Structure 1
Amino acid sequence: MALDVGCGTGRFTLPLAPHFKKVLGIDISDSQINVAEQYNTASNVSYMVAAAEKLPMKNDSVDLVNASLAAHWFTIDKFASEAMRVLKREGCLALHGFIPANEIEYKNLSHDLTVVMLETWDTLFQHVDTRSTDHMLCQYQTIFEAIPLKDKERITDINVKSPMTIPEIIGFFQSIYMFQQFLEKDAERAKQFLIHVERRIRDILGEEAYSARLNVYMKHYCVLACKH
């Protein structure tokens, strides 16, 4: 049994399906769970609305508690206590996040594209939640310290290169919480901001804008632990 906490639309839930008999994804957002259910393609995966601080599982019933790009939103001491409760003996806890490495690589245009990326993040970081951002920027050091297990490890600075098209890059920015915060404060300005970012990238790429796959770098990190 695997439990994916803060699963959102199921982006990191479905990849667990081939490795477990049952997978449950939970999130506090009704709308996110509705989307996850709509796109569920695995018969052994299910979803429900529930909080990270009150996991809907029996004691000692779960082999893996996973949280990807989500743990920085939890009340960590309560979540950690719940994770310890539901995990079986030899069960594992896996928490994963990333911070932008602020670099785009494409032929001889990398510098100009990276400038756009840096300036985009500068704007988005004006709409951060300080508590969650602190967890991310320290690469889950504070979360690692809060896990009440001796067998644990924190792995940082995992550089990941993701080839992305322009629509995928813009879609990524649209999906992150900082843009959603921006959208709530000033919807028209937020939409125009992303239109401007896309136009700048297309202007740099010229005729190649429609076919180019740009290498976008992100710095990932994780906390892994085992209950004995």
Structure 2
Amino acid sequence: MAVQLFKKLTYSSVYQKYMFPVSGEIMNLVLSYVKEKTNGRPLEMAVDVGCGTGRYTLPLAPHFKKVLGIDISGSQINVAKQYCPAKNVSYMVAPAEKLPLRTASVDLVNAGLAAHWFTVDKFASEAVRVLKTKGCLALHAFYPATEIEYKDLSHDLSLVMSEVWNTLYQYDDISTQHMFCQYQSIYQAIALKDKERITDVSVKIQMDIHEIIGFIQSIFMFQGFVEKDVKGAEEFLIQTEKRFREILGEEADTVRLNVHMKHYCVLASNIKMETC
């Protein structure tokens, strides 16, 4: 299973260093939603499910009295603990489908770049169980495609990245299908009436060639490529970097490129406990 990749320490380190940065736009959406639905009450507890290396856990720390990050991967949790300056954040190994929390004890259940890995119906049931009345659920990720913008070279650069994704899709699984539909199927599985799905949230960051190649390595599908063909995966990276350099010419080592991705978010509130 692809999820086993996250249990490898080498992959956890690559993921922490190179995965696409946390979306400030999405985090603002989540936090604004929570504050609206909880009517400004003090926020006691958030749990970040499938927290990985804690990339989406730490941004929650200033807004909650306590934040717990859980993940099924011990190696991801170990890396998360190494990058944890917040005193109100803790981590533990646990599955998304059996949350180690009391019923009605949580203000926010969050999952960033993670819900597509869960057994969705079991996780959704657990999320509803642990949420307080008016507690919120936030599930978000990005669409598996990328555009690169730079001067009059945008088309050629984006074409290379499109071909990268097309190669990696050969190593996808059901989790990728959830991402392609922008969590539509996950949205339908959430047994709360007060819910919404926000799609096509445009996010732009600047990256250099080294960071883009690192990002490719952090994608789980690339790790699937490595498991099946180590030499082929290494050559793929070399040729991809070579193509970027050929397009950019003398600027290749100094330029920072605008990288565009689409994010999306499923939000729900436990205002009414009855199911849909």
Q: Deviations over 1:131-160 (max 9, x none)?
A: 112211111111001100010000111121
Match of 2:204 in 1: 161
| AA matched with 1:51 | P
Measure the CA separation in 2 of the matches of 1:211 and 1:12. Answer: 29
Contact 2:145 2:162 in 1 (8 A): no
Match of 2:139 in 1: 95
User: Using a 3 Å threshold, how does the CA distance of structure 1 residues 23 and 37 change in structure 2: closer, same or farther?
Assistant: same
Contact 1:100 1:217 in 2 (8 A): no
Match of 1:46 in 2: 90
Measure the CA separation in 2 of the matches of 1:38 and 1:141. Answer: 35
Task: State which drifts further: 86-95 or 39-48.
Answer: 39-48
Match of 1:205 in 2: 248
Gaps of 5+ in 1: none
User: Using a 3 Å threshold, how does the CA distance of structure 1 residues 101 and 183 change in structure 2: closer, same or farther?
Assistant: closer
By percentage of residues, which structure has more strand?
1
Size of the aligned set, in residue pairs, is: 227
Q: Deviations over 1:186-223 (max 9, x none)?
A: 12211221122112112211221122111111111110
Q: For 1:110, which of 149, 154, 175 is the aligned residue?
A: 154
Q: For 1:4, which of 43, 48, 69 is the aligned residue?
A: 48
Structure 1 residue 226 displacement after superposition: 0.3
Match of 1:135 in 2: 178
Match of 1:23 in 2: 67
Do structure 1's residue 221 and structure 2's residue 257 form an aligned pair?
no
| AA matched with 2:178 | H
Match of 1:68 in 2: 112
Structure 1 residue 172 displacement after superposition: 1.2
Contact 1:77 1:146 in 2 (8 A): yes
Measure the CA separation in 1 of the matches of 2:232 and 2:247. Answer: 23
| AA matched with 2:180 | L
Q: For 1:85, which of 111, 129, 144 is the aligned residue?
A: 129
Aligned residues with identical type, % of pairs: 72
Measure the CA separation in 1 of the matches of 2:160 and 2:193. Answer: 43
Tell me the TM-score normalised to structure 1 length: 0.97
Contact 1:23 1:44 in 2 (8 A): yes
Q: Which runs of 4+ in 1 moved over 3 A?
A: none
Measure the CA separation in 1 of the matches of 2:190 and 2:263. Answer: 19
Measure the CA separation in 1 of the matches of 2:246 and 2:85. Answer: 38
SS in 2 for 1:210: coil
Contact 1:27 1:33 in 2 (8 A): yes
Measure the CA separation in 1 of the matches of 2:253 and 2:172. Answer: 32
Measure the CA separation in 1 of the matches of 2:81 and 2:246. Answer: 38
Tell me the TM-score normalised to structure 2 length: 0.80
Measure the CA separation in 2 of the matches of 1:38 and 1:216. Answer: 28
Match of 1:37 in 2: 81
